[in-house]
Amino acid sequence: MPSSPHPHSIPVEERLIVALDVPAAPQARELVLRLGDTVRFYKIGLELLMAPGFFDLLDWLKAEHRKVFVDLKFFDIPETVARAVRNLAERGADYCTVHGNQSIMEAAAQAKSGTLKVLAVTALTSLDQGDLNDLGFACSVADLVLSRARRALQAGCDGVVSSGLEVAKLRAEAPRELICVTPGIRPVENRVEADQKRIMTPAAAIAAGADHLVVGRPIRDAADPRAMAASIQAEIASAVQARLSNAR
């Protein structure tokens, strides 16, 4: 059974993962340099993969002593996923994502090495109950997330990607076993987003039990990205302290 870091052992400044959702590697580097020492963990995904310099960017981030979450949501035959995970592990990536198919999760978990941890995607935060109904899932979003999280744990994955709205139930079933990475984080309550339907504030997500928060546009599009990142870091630190105090 994989072992998730105890809440005490995760450095507070590594709980924020900034999504480098920009068109190309030069813009990503510019944002990283602008954020400076306020951010230690970055996510790179499909948009950057389709531009030149994806792996050069990954190598540069590691050389800059940043942690890297490669979010490509692998979904292919298990052997192909396993080979992709092995290659990614050799690049020094810290987290990667796979879809919640049992054989895919098992293949990825067996192929990981080094610092790489495998996270299973439960249900995208762009989906709501109506979307799941349209896709033919005869269950609630929460039930689907819990089912996939259980299977991820059994498969040997290190954690899951889950909306903050489901994290509390995940924590009730797996208090320490799974790393919970939560996207759809917005600093302002009830902010409307066209493609994020299940969102939560940083403090609320940490209180629910999230280990890491993924934030993209609120930082990238801020008038002062560094100040926004620092503000979110402060909110996270306060929420972590409150969560740990309540756990005593």
Instruction: Write the CB contacts of 152 (distance below 8 Å, at least 6 apart in sequence).
Output: 100, 105, 120, 122, 159, 160, 178
Q: Where are the alpha helices (DSSP H) in 179-248?
A: 202-208, 217-220, 225-247
Q: How far apart are CA 1 and CA 154, in angstroms?
A: 7
Domain 11-243 has CATH 3.50.50.60: no
Catalytic residues, which ones? 73
CA distance 140 to 167: 14
Whole-model pTM?
0.87
The pLDDT profile of the chain, 248 residues, written as one tens digit per residue, is: 444 455 448 899 999 999 999 999 999 999 999 999 999 999 999 999 999 999 999 999 999 999 999 999 999 999 999 999 999 999 999 999 998 889 999 999 999 999 999 999 875 444 455 544 554 554 565 666 677 788 888 899 999 998 877 788 878 776 567 899 999 898 864 454 544 444 789 999 999 999 999 999 999 999 999 999 999 999 999 999 998 888 76
In angstroms, the CA 94 to CA 179 distance is 12
Domain ranges for the chain: 11-243
Q: What is the DSSP string of 22-37?
A: SSSHHHHHHHHHHHGG
In angstroms, the CA 33 to CA 13 distance is 16
